[in-house]
Chain A
Amino acid sequence: MTDLKKLFETGNALERELVESARYDGLSQASRTRHMRLFGMSGALLALLSYARFSAAAVAGASKSTLLIFGGVALAGIGVGTYAVQASSTSSSSSGAASAPNDAPSLPTRPEAAEPSDAYEPSPPATSAAATAPVMPTVGKSRDGVVTKAEQAQRLQKETALLMGVHELLRSGQTQAAQERLRNYRSQFPSGQLRLEAEVVDVELMSASGDRARAARRAKALLAAGTVGPYSARLRAIEAAVNAREPAK
């Protein structure tokens, strides 16, 4: 019953050619590296990823925006390398990110208690506490004025927590509170490591709070500046959504 032969052994020439053509398929090295970096990141940033995906989907309506935050970021005292955020706005897939986690198939669970999480386990997903989390104090420089890697990592963690709060508020439709939280972020981290993310979130907030024309202008200006790189798809999606609602006269 199970001694089936493979087509590449028993099929005709055309069948073999078709089947064998799939062997050369694979993930490009660039994609592979990007995914590996993402899943080598800290839990906090992965949680931000989750928030950003959900809130971006809420803002963009039917379109799905997926953030890929990648880079050599390791908050466990390792230091901060380069990182970037890539947004890709794709289609009206019914497998939207927001629904996917709850759609997961079920499988037998472990009989024993859950093992301790590993270094890559993300923080618990969205909780309402994120929206009301106390404001984080600004991290200062060390006594000799040099920011150590550990401090830099700690600072990034705090930036992430604040922006997670913004995403969560945006997702739940509390745009005013989200704007307040964003102002808070900017006052604490005027040159923050996630300031570009903050810029993009700001545009999303403008759009969500009804200031669509301004959101479109900001998106356009950011895109024209050419410095948004991986955020461009997300900004274009906002611009397109605004233009679709309010076509140019």
Chain B
Amino acid sequence: MKVLFRRFVEDNIDFLARYLRRLGIPMSEIDDAIQEVLWVVHKKRAEVDSNKERAFLVAVATRVASHEYRARRRRSRTQGEFVEHASFETDLTPERLAQVAEARERLQQILNQLPMDLRTVFVLFELEELTAPEVSELLQIPVGTAASRIRRARELFAEHVRDLSMRKVS
């Protein structure tokens, strides 16, 4: 039986917010993006298999983030890169909070450099800690494709991290 949409939102809204953030939606636009995704999902969910609703949510979120990503790239060429310090709720000490915020900003900078197809698998596999079969199911791609994308994403990620550590040393 189809669960109430409110329950669906409740179960997925934190995941959705994290996913959109990691795909590059800035914190200042996250509420708009969430509404946009949920609105589309709400309208179309009657046409979607109930066991594929989360996959549909991911597909819509990826689509919205891709559009936003392209728009932001266009804007950044004319207005300079947008830098933000996202706020988040945690019980970390202020010192640790500052470290985490810095690490997260670097993480986001690296993620923003990955192509969207690799970024999505990286976010789902490494940050959301899903398995490769779960990633394949959510993205509606074969498991082998998901696994190879994860590997490529990790290679690219490692390259960027190496660059980052070299910059830190120098």
Q: Interface residues, chain A, CB within 8 Å of chain B?
A: 1-2, 4, 6-8, 11-12, 14-15, 17-29, 31-32, 34-36, 38-40, 46, 49-50, 64, 66, 68, 88, 90-95, 97, 100-101, 103-105, 107-110, 114-115, 117-122, 125
Contact = CB atoms under 8 A, between A and B. Distances in A.
Contacts of A114: 46-47
Interface string B67-96: 110110001000000000011111010000
Contact of B147 (A2, A94, A95): A2
Given A7-B154, A28-B89, A107-B140, A14 B164 contact: yes
Which of A28, A64, A104 has the most B CB atoms < 10 Å from its CB?
Answer: A104
Given A4-B147, A26-B18, A107-B59, A35 B13 contact: yes
B114 interface: no
B117 to A, nearest CB: 14
Contacts of B56: 105, 107
Which of A8, A20, A34, A95 has the most B CB atoms < 10 Å from its CB?
Answer: A95
B13 to A, nearest CB: 6
B58 to A, nearest CB: 9
B43 A101 contact: yes
Contacts of B67: 93-95, 103
A91 B92 CA distance: 33
Nearest to B42: A122
B129 to A, nearest CB: 7
A24 B47 CA distance: 35
A101 B40 contact: yes
B64 interface: yes
Given A39-B5, A66-B35, A91 B71 contact: yes
Contacts of B48: 107-110
A7 B90 CA distance: 23
Contact of B161 (A2, A15, A28, A110): A15
Given A19-B127, A101-B44, A115-B1, 16 more contacts: A6-B125, A8-B126, A21-B104, A32-B13, A36-B10, A46-B42, A66-B35, A90-B32, A92-B71, A95-B71, A101-B43, A107-B47, A108-B52, A114-B46, A114-B47, A118-B2
Contact of A104 (B40, B101, B129, B161): B40
Given A18-B161, A117-B46, A36 B17 contact: no
A91 B89 CA distance: 26
B103 interface: yes
Contacts of A121: 5
Contact of A109 (B49, B75, B133): B49
| Closest A-B pairs by Cβ, 4 of them | A95-B67, A21-B103, A27-B17, A105-B59
B123 to A, nearest CB: 8
B35 A68 contact: yes
A55 to B, nearest CB: 15
Contacts of B5: 39, 118, 120-121
B17 to A, nearest CB: 4
B9 A35 contact: yes
Given A36-B6, A91-B75, A97 B49 contact: no
B9 A36 contact: yes
A34 to B, nearest CB: 7
A114 B43 CA distance: 13
Interface string B1-36: 110111001100110011001100000111111111
Contact of B6 (A1, A6, A18, A40): A40
Given A2-B133, A35-B31, A38-B35, A95 B68 contact: yes
A25 B18 contact: yes
Given A35-B31, A93-B67, A108-B52, A1 B14 contact: no
B118 interface: no
Contacts of B41: 104
